[in-house]
């Protein structure tokens, strides 16, 4: 099956989103590592899971575009 063609604008936007998500994930992970409060830790773990899922969805768009470029 042929990978869908994505414009360079879509690819560039995907890369920006991935960069932002990576930075946000790093911040959340740092706060998680520093936070002793169990409730806050659970909340941060949930947020980290959500951000990771979002990142994975962007990867699906970034990889075919990268292969096509």
d(CA 7, CA 69): 10
Is residue 3 situated within a structural domain? no
* Distance separating alpha carbons of residues 34 and 50, to the nearest angstrom: 20
Read off the pLDDT of each residue in 51-65 and give the average, rounded to a whole number.
Answer: 82
25 in a structural domain: yes
What pLDDT is stored for residue 69 in this prediction? Answer: 46
Residue 55 lies in a domain: yes
Question: What pTM does this model have?
Answer: 0.77
Q: How many domains are there within the chain? A: 1
Residue 28's domain spans which residues?
8-63
Question: Does residue 69 belong to any structural domain of this protein?
Answer: no
1-39: per-residue pLDDT in tens? 445 566 788 888 899 999 999 999 999 999 999 999 999
The pLDDT, as a whole number, for residue 40 is 98
Residue 59 pLDDT greater than 70, yes or no: yes
* DSSP run (H or E) holding 1: none
How far is residue 41's CA from residue 6's CA, in Å, rounded to a whole number? 38
């Amino acid at each position: 099956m042929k990978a869908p063609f994505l414009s360079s604008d879509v690819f560039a936007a995907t890369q920006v989103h991935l960069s932002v998500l990576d930075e946000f994930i790093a911040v959340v992970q740092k706060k998680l590592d520093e936070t002793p409060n169990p409730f806050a830790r659970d909340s941060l773990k949930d947020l980290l899971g959500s951000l990771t899922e979002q990142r994975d969805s962007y990867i699906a768009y970034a990889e075919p575009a990268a292969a096509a470029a």
